[in-house]
Chain A
Amino acid sequence: MTGCTGTTENGVLVWGQLPGATMPAQFTAPCGTTISAGAVTNNVLGRNQITSFTKGKPPAIRTGVNWGSSNSFTVSHPAPVHVGVKFWALYIDPLCNLSCVQTNLNNWLSWANAMLSREGAGIVLTASSTGLVTDKTGVANTKPKVRKYKNMKETQAYCGKRPISKLASLIKESNAFNVYIVQTVKDENARGTSCYQYDMAFVAHQSIWGTILHEIGHNLYLYHPDDSAVAPFFNAKNLMWSDSPDRDYLSEGQTFRMHFSQESALVKKFGFRELEKRDCLDEGTDDNKPCPKYEKFIWPDP
């Protein structure tokens, strides 16, 4: 997306009734100016909602809009959501020692935040107060419950409730995305998996930058567009594309789900937007709490 700063645009999605328009209808206008949405009337099913997107802040939402009650509605964007990130090195490549890993991941963090800001994700990843990276190779070499994760297999023996709890009880921070750097994932050196966790992910030691952020995307309940019917609306530059050397953008539908899907870590684990959460199964099953489609773009992406 190209959100709002200076001379660029804000964008809104509007649910209601608008002759000839498919809902949600989308409108944009230059930063700081009023966005005209035309002659919207109430939708009889109760799908009356406004969602606003802007650069650097989370999307804003206003549900239960009574389109007949006023000529204008204000939608307020909350402050960016700050969430910690903690990397636990269970394995360190002899060719890139701890200091090298720290430098690389500090730079990754800087890029991840630049990309998330550019895409209007409204999320700021912050280094854990205990440091962005902690060397746990000693524990990984001595404790069998940790050691097995050095070569991550993605089976119940690894991702199941009991084994993951054991790992978490030994190595985990409770208020952050925990990313475990391992030697291999599914026997490969540059693969990742979220293991279906809300705040834990695993990346093999030679994962490229896009893959690391991609796994946090799974913690936010985003899925691969290339595996599903939405594939034609995306390309390999989407952050969640499964086989891409260059992941770089989010759809507005994805950004929406990061903040409002009840299965996103932001809601489920960190407690943000609790009152506004929804299921987001496709467009949502609750008429009063619709979601834009996963493939919804207000601004075209590369």
Chain B
Amino acid sequence: MARSLAASLAILGGCILVMTTGCYKSQPRVRIPIPPLNDAESVKRLWLRQTCDTNQEGQLEAQLVRFRVELEPLFVQAFKDRVPAADLSAVEVAATRQFKEAKGYNADVSEHVARERNNYISGYRSAALSGLGIVGGVEGRRLLEQVAADSQSPFSHNAQLALQALLGGKIKASRP
């Protein structure tokens, strides 16, 4: 027998808001094992582009350590080079679309796109430095020291933090 459903748009009573104050519970932590990446280039790409590692903390760092020798020059280069054009293009497309969807008040679209683009570049380059704070190496450390000492560099603070991590031995692991 054929049955049908009426998907009604009736509105059920108002929203119920139950406030819980003074309770700072955390969500249960679920650790999702990330698959091992097979090459330094893949690890580099993920490290530089990832902006959040909830549920997988420490796992990518372990892969950085695994490929530390190969990654050192890649991170040095990533800090010095331009961010991949494909990424920047995606940021610009997204920012333009988002701004239009937001009906962007009190700013113009080009300003917004430029800010998102600049923010993405800053995230990418600071990730290169934080990566060096894990993989270290002679060249890596030299770059960190150089940038950390340059008070005019917008990345001076990041380099200082990365050096602290490197010298503090946040992650100690040997090559397999």
Contacts and interface: CB of A to CB of B under 8 A. Distances in A.
Interface of A: 4, 10, 12, 14, 27, 29, 32, 34-40, 50, 52, 54, 57, 60, 67, 70-79, 81-82, 96, 103-104, 106-108, 110-111, 114-115, 118, 151, 154, 159, 161, 164-165, 168, 174-175, 183-184, 186-198, 204, 206-211, 214-215, 218, 221, 223-224, 227-228, 242-248, 263, 268-272, 274
Nearest to B101: A114
Contact of A189 (B25, B28, B123): B123
B49 to A, nearest CB: 4
29 contacts: A34-B6, A35-B5, A71-B4, A73-B6, A77-B11, A78-B11, A79-B12, A104-B112, A104-B115, A107-B107, A110-B101, A111-B98, A115-B98, A165-B24, A184-B161, A189-B158, A191-B127, A197-B24, A206-B118, A206-B122, A207-B51, A208-B51, A208-B120, A208-B123, A211-B52, A223-B55, A245-B91, A248-B94, A272-B15
B94 A40 contact: no
Contacts, number: 267
B4 A79 contact: no
Contact of B102 (A27, A32, A111, A195): A111
A10 B6 CA distance: 10
A208 B113 CA distance: 10
Given A82-B15, A218-B54, A34 B115 contact: no
A24 to B, nearest CB: 12
A243 B50 CA distance: 4
Given A111-B101, A159-B26, A197-B24, A77 B9 contact: yes
B3 A39 contact: yes
A299 to B, nearest CB: 14
Contact of B112 (A52, A76, A107, A272): A107
A79 B32 CA distance: 34
Contacts of A246: 90-91, 93-94
A77 B16 CA distance: 15
Contact of B8 (A27, A76, A247): A76
Given A164-B24, A246-B91, A228 B161 contact: no
